[in-house]
Amino acid sequence: PRIIEARERYQRALTAHPRFAPAAYALGRLELNQNEPDRARRYFENAAAWLRANEAPRLGIARCDLKRGAIDEAIATLESLNTRPDAELRRSFALVQDPDPSRPISRQLGEALAAIGEFERALPHLNRALEIEPGDPTLRYLKAQALQFRGELE
């Protein structure tokens, strides 16, 4: 009932103001929370087009892609965001209620890619994360795994 009311309210706002990005973003979050990643992605795409300076809709797109099983698309979106300053990304993660907004995106990407065996793709992110946290043992271990995979370590 409350979800239906919220959906209707946001849809009315979009009908009245078709480029009202906050309503599109809110609908994207609502649909994603209802496990409708395809519908959510369309709303996030609209919000991203209208809110070019805000990364939150793009993070929403990546989360939709992950739910849809489109891992390569999600990684590409996250990698494009990885060029932004970490403070800006933390703020964006907080907007989409990421479980750990304090961790740099480079670390999250490096760990996630290493976990699925994508060591070549993980290495640049692990290197960037190590610039931020040079003594972190987990990052150093993952980098060693990636280098071993490349044949650079025995």
The pLDDT tens digits of the residues spanning 17-67 come to 888 888 899 899 899 889 999 999 999 999 999 887 777 888 889 889 888
Backbone angles phi, psi at 116, to 5 degrees: -100, 10
Q: Is the pLDDT reported for residue 2 higher than 80?
A: yes
Residue labelled with tokens 């996630």 = 112
In this model, does residue 97 exceed pLDDT 50? no
Sign of CA dihedral 15, 16, 21, 25: negative
43 versus 120: the higher-pLDDT residue is: 43
Is 92 exposed, middle or buried (CB count within 10 Å of its CB: 0-12, 13-18, 19+)?
Answer: buried
Contacts of residue 62, Cβ cutoff 8 Å, sequence gap at least 6 = 73, 74, 77, 78, 81
Alpha helices in 17-132 (DSSP H): 21-33, 37-50, 56-68, 71-81, 86-95, 105-115, 119-132
To the question of pTM greater than 0.85 for the whole model, the response is no
The set of residues, in sequence order, having a beta carbon less than 8 Å from that of 120 and lying 6+ positions away, is 146, 149, 150
